[in-house]
Each structure stands twice: as structure tokens, then as C-alpha cells.
A and B are shown apart, each in its own frame.
Chain A
């Protein structure tokens, strides 16, 4: 073993191991968290869930996306917008894949503002598939005013806009396992993470709700949004908070990354092509260099 090898391992061990153990100690220190230091939230990291769209051959489950949309529509949509999603997107193959007529009928249930018309006036009309889903509030200020000062964020990109760091060693492993589901794991954990007793010493500010999975503090302004039996599924899937959370998390992942199924399908083809191409190039290279020792 060379000097460099030993020193290198020692240096890596120093920078990796010391902070890693410091991180593990964090939850215990959470209660005595004091001002000035950087906050280390969430209190609990999300449990990785099993998703159909994970991994090399992952793809969205159409039925799950349709259920997830139902949860969004009947529950989330009263406060949260989904402004980057148009009704036509809901008919997308590899997405929720609603039929063309279904999308048209669905859009017609919403009123959108259009105009100006010939007289110069704005007017309301039923939405068309090309329209985007209307947001529940006119603007962030109105949203904040109606929700105790905290505007409910738009959910269009939520599937990719949240992720809890799992530390260096997990990150290295994630490269090989292709873990990219931190967003839906987080949403699922948050939605199922209410109804817990705060640990001693954790203060829950007035008007907020304790949730140890919340990424930015011990409690959040959103009250527990889902309860068992709240949404009635047509396909007989269980009406539990866990199922609702799972479905709406998958739906929000689709909303954030609508071409995921296509991406992984093409990715597989590209990967196969490149491997075969590399193999051919390698054989050719061997032949070209066969007369030259190097």
C-alpha cells in the first residue's frame, strides 16, 4: 500500500465519515435547535416508496394517474393550482390518457376568462382542451390572503421541486439504482405524516400543523388535507389516506415530468444502440491497432 493510497483513504474518511456521523446526530439535536444555526429539516426523512415509474423500465400507471387526478381535483384543487397542465395534456398517451371526449367534457365543466371580444370586454366561457387548468386564486396575494398569509404553492412542478438529501453514500448508490423519486416520496410522506405527536421541545406555531416530514420546519400552514373515505374511486381502489397520497404523488410526478414514460423508452433504445456501437468500435479499434504494440 502506497503512501498516497493511505493518505487518500484517510482524507476521504475524514471528509466523508465525520460529517456523516454529524448528520446522524441531527434528529436528536433537533429539539434544542437554536437560532443562528442552519435548520435541519425535515425531522424524519421520507420512506422510499415503490413506484411504477422508477428504474430502467419505469412507466406511469394510467389508472393510478387517473385516480391521482381525481384526488387533485376533488381535494387539492380547492387551494392549489396546476397552471402548467392543460386539459389536452390529460389525454396524453403515457400520461392519464383520458379519451378525447372525456377531456372535452371535463374542460367544459370549468369556466375560463377570455377576450377581449369585439366590444372590448373580457368574458367567461367554458374551457376547451387547449386551455390550461384554472388556478383557484387570481394571484398569489389573493391566495395568501385567503389562507392565513401563506399562499398554497402551484403543484405543476412539485414532483421535481422537493427532495430531501439522503447523504453522500446514498447519493452515490442512487447513481446505480437510478433513484429519481425523491419528489413523490416526499409528497407521499408529507400527506401521510400528519396526526403525530410533536417530540418534546418542538414548538408548533399557532395556525400551523405539526408534520415531521415537512421540509422547511416542524409544522406547516396546510392542515391535514386527506382522510379515509374522502374520495370515492370508480375502480375499486382502497379509499385510504395512504392510497390517495400514493395516487396523487404519482399524478404530480406526471404533471412535473409528462414525458417520463417516453424518455425511459427512448433511453432504453439509445442505451442498447450505444452499447452495440461501442462494441463494434472496440473490435475495429483492436483490428486497427493489432500490428502496433502500445
Chain B
């Protein structure tokens, strides 16, 4: 994935094999000698964390599927069978359910890191768009996974989300019926959601490969946003990035384990331990926490179709960031004004998340509309205007220069170059 391989097969078999399928060379050039900027901080370990989380979800998910029954009358019983009688079934299920949440924690950090350091800017537009596609696939996968236990929130969450499609003029009702596989959410819906929930992670894995491929073509961005100019600016992926990523992954696992073993139901909703009942609507239907900002945007618009359009636009707009940002400078480190608006945007996202968890009435509605307006304004007004109005700080000429300046001013430590 990164130019010509420097891999030299040693044994006779390795030479024979490499001549026929140069996969060892590919791995060697992509994950061993691959030049990685020397100044990456820990926010850059989230890419590796996400790859590992995808693996965790697929492995636990495949084993869970061996014990799960996708049927409206049996699903919850089979989940409880996993929790009670399958050896370490409780561990598998809590890893998988909390793993989904951890996946979103990591992806939000990863996306915001990209937004802060301008990782979407030329020449990484395709890399960024592939990331948005992964994010969309993740949302679809997580949504369908949450439906599988067939609890009250599963059922009513699915009802709310699938009903969104009925807002589409003319064909909306037909599309909804088609999605349901009937005239209401029932067993056919659960069956197809299970099928798709098993399929989509492998599509995610496919797009992740494209994402990494694109990354290794354009090279990694870094906290300065400056392109790699010489060999001095980089260190080999192994051992430098490998060990740093491993440390990041294990630290993330500590956070993950805190939930799995001690707070396994903290991020879930108690109502999802009540079996689905089509005749009893819960007092508040709320999605999983990672959908709350988008749920708040959906409910902020007084018309159903308008809300649906706003919600899908709030994600689709990410695709256009590379062209909405007009600044010549990538990294917010050298963009004093953008940096402040970035944090306002983060606060807006958290605020929308909070509002999404509250009933849509009174002050919540007004606050939801203000924050929804600001969410879009950040992309459509703030990003283009700041790029023009802002006067960026002077950017160092190279990564090495930036690093050395930091080391000297920081703690004056003795410097030895790589």
C-alpha cells in the first residue's frame, strides 16, 4: 500500500511465495517500515483502537449468533439463555453491547481529531469520505443490533426509525412496508435486521481496508498539519507506532472493562429488559446514547419530513467538509479562531446529545432548535468564513522544526535526532 516494498524474503519458501503472492511484502511495507510522522500524539491511536474494536465486535458477535434465535417470540429468551446458561455468555454479550458503545466513543474522538487537525483537507478528501461511509454503516449496524434482543426499546426504537421513511412523499409508505416485510414491525423485520446486522460489519471491514489504503497513499496527517518533507520527519511504523498504539489500545481496554464488568447496563435502557409489547408504548422512547445528538436534530424540526431531512443532512454534511473549509492551513494548532469554534462545536454536540435524551417539550424544544441551527451553521457559515477571515499563526517549515522548537522551549531536554 506504500510504494515499492523493501521486504527481502530470506528462506527459499518465502522467496517462492513472495513471487506468487507478495502479501508479506505488502504487510511489511504497510505496517513495519511505513514512515509515520514522528510527532503524532495519542489522539492518533484511535484509528488502531477502532480496528481492534471492529475485531472484538465481529468475534463476540459471531459467537453470540451461535446461541441467538432471531424470532419475535424467542429472541429475548435466547438472549437470556446466553446471559444465564452459556459459558461466559454474560461476558460475550456485555462485551458486544458495551463494545458497540466503545466503538462510538472511539469513532467520535477519531472524527473530532480529524476535524481539529484538518485531516480531511487536500489530499485526504477520499480518505475522509470513506470514513463518513464507515460511520454511516456503523450507525446502521448498531441500530439493527439494538433491535435484536426484542425488548421494549428495541421494538419502539425500530418503530420510530423505520417510520421515518414513511415521511418520504409518494413512496414513503411503500418503502416502510418493504422495510418491515409486512404492515407492522414483527417477526419478518427482526429476521431481516439480524441478517443485515451480520452482513454490515463485513462491509465495514471492506471499507476500512479502503480507508487504510487511502491513508497509506496520502500519508498520515499530524498535529502540525505539515506534509512530510524528509526522512527526518518520520519514524518507522514498527516499533514506534506499533508500541504506542498498543499502549493506547490497552488503556482504552481499561475504560472498556470498567463498563463491561462493573457498569454493564449503565449505557443501556432498563426498558430493554421488558419484552417487546406492540400494545404498550414506553413513556419516553430514546435511542442509544450515540444517536442522541441526531435524534435531537430530528425532533427540532416541526415537520416530520423536515426532521428526517435535517437528521440525514447532519451526517451527510460531513462529506462536504473538505470543500467547506476554506483555510489554507490544516491544523487548528495554527488557527487561533477556528480552534475556539471547534470547541464550541463540540459543546453543541454534547448539548444536542443531552437534549436528545429529554422529552421534546418546553425549554428542550427551544434549546434543541438553537443548537440544531448552530450545528449546521458551524459547517455552512463558520467553516467557510473563518478560513477567509482568520489570520493563521506562522506555520513551521517542517515537522522536525516544529518538534525541535517544542522540545527546546518545553523542557530544554537534550536532543538527539532520530
Contact = CB atoms under 8 A, between A and B. Distances in A.
Interface string A154-186: 001100111100001000001100101011000
A292 B38 contact: yes
Interface stretch (B2-10, B189-197, B360-368): B360-368
A281 interface: yes
Contacts of B273: 157, 160-161, 256
A154 B284 CA distance: 22
Query: In the complex, which of the residues A84, A256, A275 has the most CB atoms of chain B within 10 Å of its own CB atom?
Result: A84
B343 A8 contact: yes
Contacts, number: 157
B244 A289 contact: yes
B250 A38 contact: no
A153 to B, nearest CB: 8
Contact of B271 (A3, A89, A161, A258): A161
A274 B250 contact: yes
Contacts of A263: 90-91, 94, 261, 264
Question: Main SS of the interface on chain B?
Answer: helix
Query: In the complex, which of the residues A2, A19, A282 has the most CB atoms of chain B within 10 Å of its own CB atom?
Result: A19
B92 to A, nearest CB: 12
Interface stretch (A74-82, A203-211, A223-231, A264-272): A264-272
Interface residues of A, number: 61
B367 A18 contact: yes
Interface string B328-365: 00000000000111111011101100110011011110
A285 B247 contact: yes
Interface string A250-278: 00000011110001101110110011011
A84 B84 contact: yes
Interface string A1-22: 0111101100110111011001
A161 B269 CA distance: 8
A34 interface: no
A56 interface: yes
B270 interface: yes
B263 interface: yes
Contact of A293 (B263, B363, B413): B413
Contacts of A122: none
Interface residues of B, number: 65
A35 B39 CA distance: 60
B257 A12 contact: no
A161 B260 contact: no
Contacts of A38: 283-284, 359, 361
Interface stretch (B118-126, B128-136, B199-207, B235-243): B235-243
Interface of B: 38-40, 77, 80, 83-84, 90-91, 94, 235, 239-240, 243-244, 246-247, 250-251, 253-254, 257-258, 260-266, 270-271, 273-274, 283-284, 339-344, 346-348, 350-351, 354-355, 358-359, 361-364, 367, 371, 403-404, 407, 413, 415-418
Given A15-B355, A175-B266, A293-B416, 14 more contacts: A4-B339, A14-B351, A41-B283, A89-B84, A157-B80, A161-B271, A256-B273, A263-B90, A267-B257, A274-B250, A277-B250, A285-B243, A289-B243, A293-B417
